[in-house]
Amino acid sequence: MTAVRVATSADAAEIVHLGALMYKAVGAKPTPTWAVDATQLVRDRLGKDLIGMVIDAPEGGLACCGLVNIAPRLPKPGARAHQMGYVQWVSTSQQHQRKGYARAVMDALLAETDKRGIEVVELHASPMGRHLYEDLGFWVKDDNIAMMTVRGRPDIPGTDGEGL
């Protein structure tokens, strides 16, 4: 059995390191400024509105991590809970991939959201992670279209209010 534990603020820098690896794997370019800001944010929010689960690497540091943002949710017909969870940064260091660590972290995160009575848990999956999430009961929504815009960022092409 893989030992999953609750993340603490002392894990923030390692969680951000694994998050950066995940972002790099999907083509993003984390910056040193991003890492500093993200580390402080993770440190400040863990144990509050951010659930973190980690697996320690035998050589030191973390082998795997995953986070769930907890956010208020307006009432929805048929839903009892007024909070939702959004999974982010499920990431495993390369030398520890294919050992079931991401599944163990996700199982622990979902057990915690269940314990808190959170009914709706959402995520965005990479093609590599899709099978795991489907095995855990996630499905691709087809009742609406996911859309986004990035506002106030002239440094990012395509963010002039027309979307990405």
Quick count: other Cβ atoms within 10 Å of Cβ 84? 20
Only one residue has tokens 């855990």, namely 136
pLDDT by residue (tens digit) across 111-161? 999 999 999 999 988 888 899 999 999 999 888 887 777 788 887 766 554
Domains of the chain and CATH, by start: 5-135 (3.40.630.30)
Residue 105 has pLDDT above 90, yes or no: yes
Q: Which helix (H) or strand (E) holds 20?
A: helix 12-25
Residues contacting residue 33 through CB under 8 Å, at least 6 positions apart: none
- Per 3-state DSSP, the chain is made up of helix, strand and coil in percentages (nearest 5) of 35, 20, 45
Model-level pTM?
0.87
